[in-house]
Amino acid sequence: MNATAVTTSRFCSLNLNCSVDVATSAPPPPLPSPQWGLLALSVIPLWIVGGNGLVLVALLLQRHLQNMSNRVIASLAVTDFLLALVVVPLGIYQLVRERERERERERDNSSAVPTPVLCRLNCELVV
């Protein structure tokens, strides 16, 4: 784009010639995000199942541990065991799906955003 401005006064006249060079640049590609958090989340149900399994095995095999107060502990271990088998994996699945949806939205929004424009203004003053 070229523009010329002429200013005239009683004493002098100025010519200002300007040109603007416009170039678009593509945004850098997004960096891959590490999946370490998801790996840690997948280990948690295994720890829960293992720990509660050990509690149940100890309460079943040791005769002297089979009393009324330990039955309450055993029922809590069973419910926690079932929670680790059903609820925790569903929560992890929901979290993973939500992250995937956010990434899809970011990809869609990044293509809708105009790319940055680099401008260079060249002017020369002619007296």
Our count of domains for the chain comes to: 1
Give me the domain span that covers residue 97. Answer: 2-26+35-126
Q: What one-character-per-residue DSSP string does 30-63 give? A: PPPPP-HHHHHHHHHHHHHHHHHHHHHHHHHH-G
pLDDT of residue 92: 87
* Confidence (pLDDT) at 33: 60
Q: CA 108 to CA 127: how far, in whole Å?
A: 51
> Quick check: 51 pLDDT over 90?
yes
Q: Tell me, what's the pLDDT at 113?
A: 47
Whole-number pLDDT of residue 47 = 93
The reported pLDDT for the residue numbered 6 is 47
Query: Residue 38: CA atoms inside 13 Å, Cβ hemisphere, count?
Result: 12
What pTM value is reported for the model?
0.53
pLDDT, one tens digit per residue, over 86-116 is 999 898 888 888 888 888 888 777 655 455 5
Which of the four pLDDT bands, split at 50, 70 and 90, describes residue 37?
Answer: confident
